[in-house]
Amino acid sequence: MNRHLIAALALALAPSASLAHVAPTPQSAQAGAYTQVAFRVGHGCDGQATTALRIEIPERLPEVRSRGVRGWRLATEKTKQGRTSALTWTGRLPDDRFEVFELFFKAPVEAGPMTFNIVQTCGRTTAKWTPTVTVTPAQPASGAHQH
């Protein structure tokens, strides 16, 4: 068999990258806009159930709200100034299931990437992820005249 064909088949049969990590939806937010981002956990760790998910909140976000997940407890870490710095959900998500952990925030006015450091815990095993949400420039209000 041709080595290029073998490589193409291996790539096609490999697990989808979208299921291989904690992924944000949407992957972008408009500058200054209120945004809801869902972080999808597509599986556990090497066959083990996910027992905790910790999301560190970028400093660029002065305020963030979270949605509860049925059957999970939520702990909030704050800085001395009162800004939410991390959220940790604890519960049990079997390896063959997925769950969505949601945040709501006003995107910063400056465009650019925002990285969320995430630790997925499965018993004694952990996996670290760094998904990025890109803040895009604000769009002019409809009906506004550009000069």
Element (H, E) at 10: helix 3-13
What does pTM read for this prediction?
0.80
Residue 132: inside a domain: yes
User: What is the Cβ-side half-sphere exposure of residue 47, based on CA atoms within 13 angstroms?
Assistant: 0
Question: Hey, which bits of 6-57 come out as E strands?
Answer: 23-25, 28-30, 34-41, 50-56
Residue 5: inside a domain: no
Residue 143: inside a domain: no
Residue 4: inside a domain: no
Own/partner contacts of 126-129, CB < 8 Å, gap of 24 or more, are 126/45, 127/45, 129/21, 129/22
- The DSSP bridge pattern shows strands 99-106 and 34-41 to be antiparallel
Does pLDDT of 3 surpass 50?
no
Question: Hey, which bits of 42-131 come out as E strands?
Answer: 50-56, 64-66, 73-78, 84-93, 99-106, 112-115, 118-122, 125-129
- 93 and 99 in contact (C-beta within 8 Å)? yes
Region of poorest pLDDT, from 13-17, 27-31, 53-57, 87-91: 13-17
Residue 2: inside a domain: no
Residue 146: inside a domain: no
Residue 6: inside a domain: no
Question: Average pLDDT, whole number, for the chain?
Answer: 85
List the domain range (segments joined by +) for residue 69: 16-136
CATH number at residue 116: 2.60.40.2230
Does pLDDT of 9 surpass 60?
no
Residue 43: inside a domain: yes
Give me the number of domains the chain comprises.
Answer: 1
